[in-house]
A and B are shown apart, each in its own frame.
Chain A
Amino acid sequence: MEQLTTSLAPPRANPKPSVTNSSQQVAGSVAKRLGNELMSLMMSSSPGISAFPKSDGNLFEWAGTIEGPAETIYAGLTFRISISFPANYPYVAPAIKFDTPCFHPNVDINSGAICLDILQDKWSAVYSVQTILLSLQSLLGEPNNASPLNTDAAAVWDTPDIFRTQLMKHYRPVKDAA
């Protein structure tokens, strides 16, 4: 912003807190892309998905939140995920894992690793954080049982009662502490 102050302007009582000096310099174009994605994600009001950078200094590490879609077995549950963007994003997919233990055929219950085609070989630069989050949300309701990461989960998928019990056994509600 161009400061326009002639000699007459009294100094402002509160100088604006400098919001620009706290960041490490991030690679310009990637940061710009991520900034735009954040903006569009914030402005889109897709229910049940959300993500935000974990700290103001690093635009490459995000925390995300996915709510289980209604009328699925995951309804009413909230899952925290972490998204880690590589330096050559968007040409390479971000690394995503569940922080909240998620009992799901395509999610590793211990590491939180996700088996989703668009996060691996089907990745394309046109995808964005928002599309990833939407895909993950729909993955919750419609798992790909053909290539399970969690075979136990895949095995009991067709018996919702047992699945739900297992799910709730592992699930821990999201805590507020970052």
Chain B
Amino acid sequence: MADLNVSVVSAAQEVWSGRAKQIVARTVEGEIGILPGHEPMLAILGVGEVRVTTEDGATVRANAEDGFLSVEHDTVTIVARNAELIS
């Protein structure tokens, strides 16, 4: 199965980018999980963290408030005014 191409960007800079197997994010309507092959989507993010499971199985967690999420052709962009990684 193909991978997802993920980038997390904040207003000032690109916070993280890389390839991932799965993404779990919280939109205003509830949690959503995204796997490769997901249909194109634009969603407004709610309060909560975004979890990215990378290719090698590690988990990257990021705080992304006040933003949105777009999915198309296995490219996922998480855009938030203030986004930062939680280490």
Same complex for A and B? Answer: no
